[in-house]
Amino acid sequence: MAVLVTLVTTLSIAPAARGSVPEVVAIGDSYMAGVGAGDYTVTDDCRRSAASYAADAARRTASALVDESCPGARIPQVLAQAGKVPATADTVLVQVGGNDAGFSAIAFACLLPFGANCLDQIAQSRASLPAIGEGLREIGAVVRTRSPGAQVVFAGYPRLLASPGACASTPLGSLLDAAEVRAINALQAGLDRTIAAAARASGATYVDWPRAVDRHSLCSSDPWFVTLEPREDALHPTAKAYAAMGRSIAPLLRR
C-alpha cells in the first residue's frame, strides 16, 4: 500500500514536460524585433512587431514567445537581454551584430551625398568583425549559463544588395558605384561568417535568411525591404521577408 501511495504521489507531482507549450526567447536588435514589418505591438523605445520572424515561427509551432529584443541594440545590450533568459527556455533566438558593424553609419556614408567616404566607412566596419565575434561568443556563454538545456540559434543578416550590374539599373545605381556595392556585399558576407563561426564555437545553430529574401533585395524589381520611407523602418525587411525567415526558423522549434 505504501508503494502504491508513493507511486501515485510521484505521478501527480511530476512535470508534464511533453505536453507543455514550447518556450521561445528572442533577443537581439531591430531585425529580431521585426522593424519594417508594421503591426507594432510594442511602440516604446523597444518597438516590436507581431510580424517579426520570431513571432511568425512561434505561431507556426504553437510556441510561447518571450521577446526581449530592442531596435538599436548592440552586443552589450543583447548581453543584458541574455541575462533575462529564463531557465525554462526551449529555444533562444539571437540576432545581433549589424549595429556593432555600423550599418547605420554605412547607410549615411554611402547613400547620402553629404556623408563620409563610403569605402572608408566599410573598411572601419570590417575591422570591427573580430570584436563582434568575441561578443557573440560571450552572449552564447551567458545563454548557456541561464538555460543549459535550451537550443540556441544565431541568425545572420539578409543580403540588401544584388550584383553591381543589377543595382546599376535601379535608383541605387546613382548612389553606389560597382566597387561600393561589392564592398557592402563583402562586408555583409563577412559579418555572416563571423556570426556562423561564433555559433559553432558556442555549440549553437546558425541560420541564414532564405534565398528568396536575397532574390528580393533592394536592387530587385520587387524588393522585400523598406527603402527610405518611413525613415524609422528604412533598410529593414518587410513582412514578406520576415514570414520567409519565420518559415525557415519554425522547423528548428519542432523538437
pLDDT in tens, 131-146: 999 999 999 999 999 9
11 found inside a domain:
no
131 found inside a domain:
yes
Catalytic residue selected from 20, 30, 217, 221: 30
Query: Is 236 considered catalytic here?
Result: yes
Inform me whether the pLDDT recorded for 11 exceeds 70.
no
Catalytic residue selected from 63, 202, 236, 248: 236
13 found inside a domain:
no
**Are the beta carbons of 82 and 66 closer than 8 angstroms?**
no
Q: What is the pLDDT of residue 230?
A: 85
Range scoring the smallest mean pLDDT among 5-14, 121-130, 149-158, 237-246: 5-14
Inform me whether the pLDDT recorded for 8 exceeds 70.
no
pLDDT-derived band at 4, boundaries 50, 70, 90: very low
115 found inside a domain:
yes
Peptide bond into 71 cis (omega under 30): no
Inform me whether the pLDDT recorded for 3 exceeds 60.
no
Task: Tell me which of 254 and 250 has the higher pLDDT.
Answer: 250
242 found inside a domain:
yes
* Helix/strand/coil percentages in the chain, nearest 5: 50, 10, 40
Instruction: State the total domains in the chain.
Output: 1
pLDDT in tens, 81-127: 999 999 999 999 999 999 999 999 999 999 887 666 999 999 999 99
* 236: CATH: 3.40.50.1110
Inform me whether the pLDDT recorded for 27 exceeds 80.
yes
CA–CA separation, 95 and 78 (whole Å): 9
| Conformation bin of residue 67: beta by default, left when phi > 0, alpha when psi is -120 to 50 | beta
What whole-number percentage of the chain has pLDDT above 70? Answer: 91
CA–CA separation, 171 and 152 (whole Å): 39
9 found inside a domain:
no
Query: Is 30 considered catalytic here?
Result: yes
Domain of residue 33: give its range. 22-253
